[in-house]
Chain A
């Protein structure tokens, strides 16, 4: 829904360039679109209203920029407003001078508290702390057992006893002192915010353990009711922050905006997967693009920076620009990209992904990428440099070597040819409309191509990656000289790399 927002906004105001300022009527129309997009993203109604006021004043204050279309300008205003509202100071965890640092988790049933507790313990562990998990959810059958298993997986001790939640929580903190754990994470039972008895109970736990941090755990898929829940929990417990869970789905997570606005406390962590390590600190700018449905470019770049080999990237980029892209480069690129994570996950972070592409991304099984790698690795160096020499018998050999079929080898070669064509087009500055595959719309290919000639980010992305985004502006990739160092990573010469997969 928000995917189409940029287009809709562009359509509304594409005729406006000459006027130098967005007219009231067009702005109203644009804001109506934004309103329904925000509502579809589950942002709470009153929050939507105050948010739109913010966007309006931003739009009215700024003169129309030369480089952005009016639609883009509105989007930028929306993005800036989102970052402002979501952002503010992120919560910096400070540790108690007299350990343990007590962390209390609370929330509705099924928000993911127990899993979040284990993930949080894993995170603290990665920060060099020694956490203790306290299972004070005695309500749900087997919740204690669940935390024990998760604690075992995380390598974190779990404390519980079958008395009552308050006693367990207090006992847990004492236990942490006794065995010298410096962080104590208390998992509580899920409760409805209107359940007075249970809210009293958690209030008592809070009073008796005086937690340094009280986090509300909330499901990213929560609708309008999130605000009620957050308010009531905040009233009862004085929250320090919020943990948003299940962000690995396709929920836009408007709840982050709602809760941030209403409670005024930062979103501290985002849970983005089923593994215990899938808990990230929360980045407002990324959430903004997510709510806007613009992909998560910054996370992508971040992952790239962390995992890609700058030399290789630079070299590949140069060859791509130069219009000479071989299967060896493809392989190098593939290895680099795979270091960043699962391909489907990466594709989902790309902006400009429409529903079809998103679906395609979800279909991706990384074992398929293994297969591609196997095919390329089953080729000789000569074949990789010049795939046109691959004839029938070579195909068969490659298929046998990689444990695939001739059809699959053909498929890959055909795709590679398209790829080369596209890159040549980019290098020559033309904007070719090469549908990479049926699945890949020409639009995306064009969009990718459009980014190439001037070496600049398109304005929409520039707005996202601009000063507000806080990306370090230092060199991401090594200078040219270093990159063109002879004989770096890749082995040249007549050697055939043995097939990795059978």
Chain B
């Protein structure tokens, strides 16, 4: 009886208090909306809005023309390298590739494909969709000579869509483009910024904003990168307002005619609403003149499992993610969850990270990714 009583008290108290508090929050929100303040940042835009294909000529014309800021793709290395970096994934699909044969797909074949996909972290829902598509094309007798493996490759490519646009620096004239890097703790945001800075700074001047003021020594880590790459950095003390750091960085960039600011943010779990609110504020600050947000890049760790979908959803709702940076693909993880993220949320992978060195950053190439995944 004692347990029961205690349980009841806790349950009721928590529920009741929760209800009351949520109620109050809602009232306040509603009032905020009524009084004309926008309650949240705009939702995620479909990629094309924020992503403009980089004009190749602009890159060639190195000295930046003030009216049309040069758009420089940070990607430096030829995509085919990705498949060599991903070679560890091969064994996964070995048995799938061994499935020769004609136009029919049996339960065994599908089971092999399913297992390989699940092991690559594609997830149950997306795997089911892929399997269904393969069975469908088998029923239509459209399976080619490559059989199941070929059909799988087609399906994966279709899921990923065409090669994504390079990262954009396209903003209004006399504004400074901002690339905002967001993500949960430990996915590699700071390292990614270091690598992106190394790639971009070959073509144009960039400024780094160390807006991760929470984690101990995060700014030091970014500063090391800034020195290594030879770019300028704006930082503040630990615990300072991240929005203020971005604000300072934008003004410094504007006064020095630097057209691109890369903003690091503190890692935050997507379940912490207050931290997401803070991030929204950083985004608002970054979008205010002289700044303008050109890209919001969600950094995802390839070792992450199905939780990546929740991360992408929450961050996208909060700050409108325009693309994903998939890091740590040089390990044994396959990062198959990006297929699920692409299918469920339509957020494309833009860049992949394959190591800790400055040059370990590649443009995302769906064909190379799928081929590497399938070990072809």
User: Does B331 count as interface, using CB distance less than 8 angstroms?
Assistant: yes
B14 and A346 form a contact (CB under 8 A):
yes
The proximity string for B residues 1-37 relative to A, scoring 1 for CB distances below 8 Å and 0 otherwise, is 1111111111111111111111111111001000000
Question: At the interface with chain A, which of B119-127, B134-142, B199-207?
Answer: B119-127
> Residues of B contacting A473 with CB < 8 Å?
3
Complex alpha-carbon distance, A440 and B26, angstroms: 13
Against B, the Cβ 8 Å flags (1 = close, 0 = not) of A242-266 are 0000101111101100000000000
- B303 within 8 Å of A (CB atoms): yes
With A142-B220, A145-B216 known to touch, is A225 a contact of B332 (CB < 8 Å)?
yes
**Distance in angstroms between the alpha carbons of A411 and B238 in the assembled complex:** 39
Which one, A18-26, A123-131, A177-185, A313-321, is touching chain B? Answer: A313-321
Contact B13 A336 (CB under 8 A): yes
- The residue that A224 contacts in the complex, of B9, B24, B119, B274, with Cβ under 8 A, is B119
CB pair B305 A364 closer than 8 Å: no
The answer to whether residues A333 and B88 also contact, given A149-B238, A221-B304 and a CB cut-off of 8 A, is no
Contact A362 B273 (CB under 8 A): yes
A39: nearest residue on chain B (CB-CB)?
Answer: B124
| In the complex, B186 has a CB within 8 A of chain A | yes
User: In the complex, what residue of chain B is closest to A318 when comparing beta carbons?
Assistant: B5
- A416 to B21 Cα, complex, angstroms: 12
**A9–chain B nearest beta-carbon distance, Å:** 16
B121 touches A224 (CB 8 A): yes
A-B pairs under 8 A by CB, number: 283
A110 touches B186 (CB 8 A): yes
Per-position 1/0 for B212-244, Cβ under 8 A of A: 001111101101110000000000001000000
What band does the interface of chain B fall in when counting residues whose beta carbon is under 8 Å from A?
Answer: 35 or more
B271 touches A (CB below 8 Å): yes
A415–B24 CA distance with the chains assembled, in angstroms: 10
For B15, give its contact among A141, A223, A350 (CB under 8 Å).
A350
CB <8 Å contact, B307 and A42: yes
When the two chains form their complex, are residues B16 and A419 in contact, meaning their CB atoms are under 8 A apart? Answer: yes
Instruction: Name the residue of chain B whose CB is nearest to the CB of A320.
Output: B12
From DSSP, what is the main secondary structure of chain A's interface residues?
helix
Q: Is the CB of B306 within 8 A of A223?
A: yes
Specify the chain A residue showing the minimal Cβ separation from B18: A347
- CB pair B7 A249 closer than 8 Å: no
User: Which of A223, A297, A444 has the largest count of B CB atoms less than 10 A from its CB?
Assistant: A223
Inter-chain contact A246/B24, CB cutoff 8 Å:
no
Instruction: Please state if A465 and B124 are interface contacts (CB–CB under 8 Å).
Output: no
Asked if B290 lies at the interface with its beta carbon under 8 angstroms from chain A, I say no
Q: Are A364 and B25 in contact (CB under 8 A)?
A: yes
Which residues of A lie under 8 Å from residue B218 when comparing CB positions? 142, 146
Identify the closest chain B residue to A112 (Cβ): B186
Residue A91 at the chain B interface, CB threshold 8 Å = no
Flag if A437 contacts B307 (CB, 8 Å).
no
A146 with B274, Cβ < 8 A, contacts A40-B124, A222-B305 known: no
User: CB-nearest residue of chain B relative to A371?
Assistant: B24
Q: How far is the CA of A476 from the CA of B5 in the complex (A)?
A: 9
> Is B8 in contact with A45, judged by CB distance below 8 angstroms?
no
B8 touches A192 (CB 8 A): no
- Considering only residues 322-366 of chain A, those with a C-beta below 8 Å from chain B are 330, 333-334, 336-337, 340, 343-344, 346-347, 350, 357, 360-365
- A192 surroundings in chain B (CB, below 8 A): 328, 330-332
Beta-carbon contact of A112 and B185 below 8 Å: yes
Which residue in A246, A415, A444 is a CB contact (below 8 Å) of B186?
A246
| Residue B270, interface by CB 8 Å | yes
A332 to chain B, nearest CB (A): 10
B275: min CB distance to chain A, Å: 9
Q: Kindly list chain B residues whose C-beta atoms are within 8 Å of the C-beta of A330.
A: 16
The distance in angstroms between the C-alpha atoms of A324 and B108, with both chains bound, is 64
Instruction: Please determine whether B269 and A145 come into contact, CB atoms closer than 8 angstroms.
Output: no
A448 interface neighbour in B5, B15, B23, B88, Cβ under 8 Å = B15
Docked-complex contact A412 and B10, CB < 8 angstroms:
no
B118 within 8 A of A: yes
Contact B18 A141 (CB under 8 A): no
Q: Are A145 and B220 in contact (CB under 8 A)?
A: yes
Interface residues of A in 424-470 (CB under 8 A from B): 436-440, 444-445, 448, 451-452, 455-457, 461, 465
A–B Cβ pairs within 8 angstroms, 11 of them: A40-B123, A45-B118, A142-B220, A145-B216, A145-B220, A146-B217, A314-B5, A343-B17, A347-B14, A438-B23, A448-B11
Q: Told that A142-B218, A444-B15 touch, could you supply 5 new A-B pairs with CB distance under 8 A?
A: A110-B188, A223-B337, A316-B9, A451-B11, A477-B2
Chain B interfacial positions (CB closer than 8 Å to A): 1-28, 31, 88, 115, 118-121, 123-124, 184-188, 191, 194, 214-218, 220-221, 223-225, 238, 269-274, 301, 303-308, 310-311, 328, 330-334, 337, 356
The 5 closest A-B pairs by CB, nearest first: A223-B305, A110-B186, A141-B224, A42-B305, A149-B216
